[in-house]
Structure 1
Amino acid sequence: MIFNNRHYPKFFPKGCPPAQAEQKKVKVYRLVEKENITQKDFKSYVELGNKFNPTRNPKYGEYALSVNTNYDELCNSVKSVPYLKKRFKYIATGQTYICTGVVCHDKSKNQPSHHDWWLYEEALPHKYFKIVSKTGGDLP
């Protein structure tokens, strides 16, 4: 995959993403709402109209996408969080290619494989991520 525009969106505040975020290729899983993956499935918390929380750790996580490197852990999170179970019906997988943005391991105690992924302005992960299962189990 070749992608030359490595600029962050203009709405990112100064210092975002944080310095510890790095370019790396990692296989990840992401919750999506519908079987047809769209660009909306790869919008950050802020892009979806939510407010920035300056006390959140890691800083600027609301500008990133939440992804996990462990499939089973993500499945367990969906089962234990009613909001996630209600909103997200599918799990998709793909790569955090170096040319799409930077990644930072969140090291959440509830989801040790959770990562924040800050996309470059013109990255289009919805074009190469694939559905791997329904949140309630395998695809029929």
Structure 2
Amino acid sequence: MLQYFVSTHRTQGQRSNDSNSIPETEVVDLASKSHDDPDHPICGCARSFAGITSRQTTTTAEIVESETTPLEYIDRFHSALVALGFPDDRDTRADAVNGAVELLLVAARWPVGTVVERRGDEIRVRAWPATT
């Protein structure tokens, strides 16, 4: 089973600058940063994840688990980059592999159901999975 990040509405509103314009459970990537201030009043790039399909942003992501293979997951990132206009070449494939693997390694740190937030270059736990 593969663990990875998807958009979630859970814990939205804990911070005054929370936002989520992504469909629930869309696979997310890190948004590109133009600065390092996660609380910048105009630009939320340093606190956001970006949906790989919608390219919309969210400040929260949740770790899920599925039978998606690592190759299928990487292919989703590659397809998203090509859809954005990047050439379908070795460099784009390498960028997709690097970005996807980085996020898989981070997601493997915590249990499924953990909600995280981005604060600049850090990804932090915002809420642990609910226990039954």
TM-score (norm 1): 0.29
| Higher relative contact order structure (alpha carbons within 8 Å, sequence separation ≥ 6) | 1
| Greater per-residue helix proportion | 2
TM-score calculated relative to the size of structure 2: 0.30
